[in-house]
Amino acid sequence: MNSSRLWPSALIGAVASARSMTPMAALAAARLAGARTPGPLLLLDHPVFKFGALAMGAGELLGDKMKSAPDRTVFLGLLARALSAGIAGAALAPRGKARAGALIAVATATPLAYLTLAGRKRAMAGLGQTRSGLIEDALVVGVGAAVVALAVRPRP
């Protein structure tokens, strides 16, 4: 298997490590724009899931700035990251490589969640929660959008 073709899956896993819903929101936005993914992504073809993913992505960006927001490494946070990374990693993998794409994305997202949390805590100490969160949002959303844009193709 040519593992270099799985780079979108690994990168979307990195995105999920910082924002669990951004991969799904980026894929939903691509679907709304008429793009198709190399791998299967059946759920986001249904309008409820498509708009739900966008709403959850936006909600996560807002909720992250709250003082009561839990760390991304709590069990449910890691579970959400793994699920989102797996689904998105499979969708961005080459045809027939969905399992490998999912595994690579999850294997990237889970340990990186600890590293991105450490980086965010360091940034919070110097910039505060809101400002550091907005900077992280811009980086993560930008990378997520770029990865998806480069990996999908327009529908014929």
Q: How far apart are CA 90 and CA 70, in angstroms?
A: 27
Q: Average pLDDT of 12-32?
A: 95
Model confidence, pTM: 0.90
Measured distance between the N- and C-terminal CA atoms of the chain, rounded to whole angstroms = 27
pLDDT at 138: 96
* pLDDT tops 60 at residue 114: yes
Distance CA 106, CA 101 (A): 9
For residues 99 and 39, the answer to whether their CB atoms sit within 8 Å is no
Judge whether 27 and 53 are in contact, CB under 8 Å: yes
Question: Is residue 60 pLDDT above 60, yes or no?
Answer: yes
Confidence of residue 111 (pLDDT cuts 50, 70, 90): very high
Question: Read out DSSP for 81-116?
Answer: HHHHHHHHHHHHSPTT-HHHHHHHHHHHHHHHHHHH
More confident residue, 92 or 43: 92
Between residues 128 and 4, which one has the greater pLDDT? Answer: 128
- What are the domain boundaries of the chain? 3-154
Would the pLDDT of 156 be above 70? no
Read off the pLDDT band of 2 (50, 70, 90): low
The single residue listed with the structure tokens 């309008």 is 47
How, if at all, do strands 153-154 and 35-36 pair? Answer: antiparallel
Instruction: Average the pLDDT over 107-116 and give the result.
Output: 97
